[in-house]
Amino acid sequence: MSVGRGAMVSSALLLAVLAVVLAPAAAAGRSQQDLFRPLPGELSFDLDQLEDLDEPALAPPVGVVARRRRPLTARSYQHAAKMQGAFGIDLFQVLAAHDSTSNVVFSPMSVGTALAMLYAGSRGQTAEQLWAALHLTGEKRELMHSHRRLVRHTKKLARDGIEMVIVSDLFTSEELPLNPKFPRYASGMFNSTVTSVPFDIPYLTAEIINGRFYNATQGVIDSLVSSDMLSEDTQFVLANAVFFRGSWLMQFDAAATAEGVFQSPAGPRPVQMMSTKKVFPIAELYQLNARALLLPYKGEKLGMLILLPNDPAGLDSLVAALNMTVISDTLRKLDGLGDVLVKMPKFDIESELDLQPLLIELGVRDLFDPAVVNMTRVTGQRGAAISTAVHKARLSVSEEGTEAAAATAFVNLFRSVPDPIRPFVVDRPFAFAVLEMSSSAVLFLGRVTDPTPQPEEPQPEPQPDLSALFL
CA-based torsion, 373, 173, 16, 387: positive or negative: positive
Whole-number Cα distances in Å, 19 to 189, 275, 356: 19, 38, 11
Domain 254-347+399-448 homologous superfamily, CATH: Alpha-1-antitrypsin, domain 1 (2.30.39.10)
Beta-strand runs (E) in 35-87: none
Contact yes or no for 113/190 (Cβ under 8 A): yes
Whole-number Cα distances in Å, 283 to 187, 286, 335, 407: 43, 9, 6, 20
Domain 12-26+81-246+349-395 homologous superfamily, CATH: Antithrombin, subunit I, domain 2 (3.30.497.10)
List the chain domain ranges. 12-26+81-246+349-395, 254-347+399-448
The dihedrals phi and psi of 243, each to the nearest 5 degrees, come to: -115, 125
The gap from C-alpha 288 to its chain's centroid, in whole angstroms, comes to: 25
Residue-wise pLDDT tens digits, 102-126? 999 999 998 998 899 899 989 999 9
pTM of the model: 0.81
**Average pLDDT of every residue of the chain:** 78
Residue-wise pLDDT tens digits, 228-266? 888 888 888 888 888 888 888 888 888 999 999 999 998
How far, in Å, CA of 150 to CA of 133, rounded? 19
End-to-end CA distance of the chain: 30
The dihedrals phi and psi of 213, each to the nearest 5 degrees, come to: -85, -25
How far, in Å, CA of 19 to CA of 169, rounded? 9
- Spell out the per-residue pLDDT of the chain, length 471, in tens: 444 332 222 223 455 556 677 665 544 443 333 333 333 333 333 444 443 323 333 433 333 333 334 444 435 889 999 999 999 999 999 999 998 889 999 999 989 988 998 999 899 999 999 999 999 988 888 888 898 899 888 888 888 778 888 888 888 888 877 888 888 898 888 888 888 989 899 999 999 988 888 888 778 777 888 888 888 888 888 888 888 888 888 888 889 999 999 999 989 999 999 999 988 999 999 999 999 999 999 888 899 999 999 999 999 999 999 999 999 999 999 987 778 999 999 988 888 888 999 999 999 999 989 889 998 898 877 878 888 888 888 888 887 632 222 222 222 233 334 456 689 999 999 999 999 988 889 999 999 999 986 554 545 555 555 555 544
Contact yes or no for 91/106 (Cβ under 8 A): yes
